[in-house]
Amino acid sequence: METMKNRKIERYTTAAIVIGGIIGTWFLSRPKKGIVKTRLDRIQQKKIDRNLMTPANATFGIVWSVIYAGTLALAVHQALPSQLSNPRYQKAQWWFRINYIMTMVFGYFFSKSDKKSRIAAAVTTIGMLPAAIGLHRSLEIDENADLSEPEKTLGKFISIYAGWLTAASAVSATTLAHEFGYLRKNTDTKQWTSALLPVASGAGVLVSRQLNDPVSLLPVAAALAGIAVKQKDKNREISLLAAGLAASVAGLILNDFNKQHQLN
């Protein structure tokens, strides 16, 4: 009886951290008001735009909204009395907390425009990827996993989260290269981006294969499409490369889903 009571408190704590992390990140990252803050936003956007690995702004809004909505539902579900004996949710407790504490840390640094904060935000993002993979594995999200609903569907939002952080890590690596002065010229940035796009796409495929989860490739395709859209008028070669990679990744996703459907 005491164990179940402690477990209930633990689950409520996890839900509070997840919900607090999401709300805190939104609060810190939301559009600012006022002349000074607007000027800081413009400076921040300029820094973001010089990174050619960054997708169109709308991509972030769409993907994070999906991730947050699904994760909120998952946080509530794991805290229900009927789920207190769920071994997957029990294993995932600290992974949930680590991920959404890091999310709020990222939001804090992202809300600032100084160089140290930009570096810290990039490093935090890269650090979130292994934490997201840990969360995915602890929840045993796998195309072959025999999970009941709604746990199976809710787990897909963690798949999207892990895939998105794979793409975001490539963006953050480019941010760090900029901040440490390795990409001083526009030609350097273009060459870096042209080389990194296939590597990032391959990393997304590798993570998906390791997790046995084609859903994690969806945000990778979305990120590549977002890059193609953003660069279509400024850097046509990069736009075409990103669009081609997005189409290739989309083809892999369809192929994986078809294979899974045939097995079922």
pLDDT in tens, 39-93: 556 666 677 778 999 999 899 989 999 999 999 999 999 999 999 999 999 999 9
Please answer whether residues 54 and 144 qualify as being in contact, where contact means their C-beta atoms are separated by less than 8 angstroms: no
Residue % of the chain over a pLDDT of 70: 90
pLDDT of residue 143: 64
142: left (phi over 0), alpha (psi -120 to 50) or beta: beta
Q: 37 pLDDT exceeds 90?
A: no
Start-to-end C-alpha separation, the chain:
40
The answer to whether 133 and 141 are in contact (CB under 8 A) is no
pLDDT of 132 higher than 90: yes
- CA dist 39 and 17 (Å) reads 32
Q: How large a percentage of the chain has pLDDT more than 90?
A: 69
Q: d(Cα 175, Cα 122) in Å, to the nearest integer? A: 7
Stretch among 28-42, 158-172, 221-235 having the lowest mean pLDDT = 28-42
What local confidence, expressed as pLDDT, does residue 183 receive?
A: 83
Using left for φ > 0, alpha for ψ between -120 and 50, and beta otherwise, residue 242 falls in alpha
Reported as a single tens digit per residue, the pLDDT across 181-226 is 888 788 888 999 999 999 999 999 999 999 999 999 999 999 999 9
Range with lowest mean pLDDT among 1-10, 55-64, 68-77, 129-138: 1-10
CA distance linking residue 183 with residue 175, whole number of Å: 9
Does residue 35 carry a pLDDT above 90? no
Query: Which ranges of the chain would DSSP assign to H, the alpha helix?
Result: 2-29, 35-49, 57-78, 87-91, 93-110, 115-138, 151-179, 186-211, 218-231, 236-263
> Is pLDDT at 36 greater than 50 in this prediction?
no
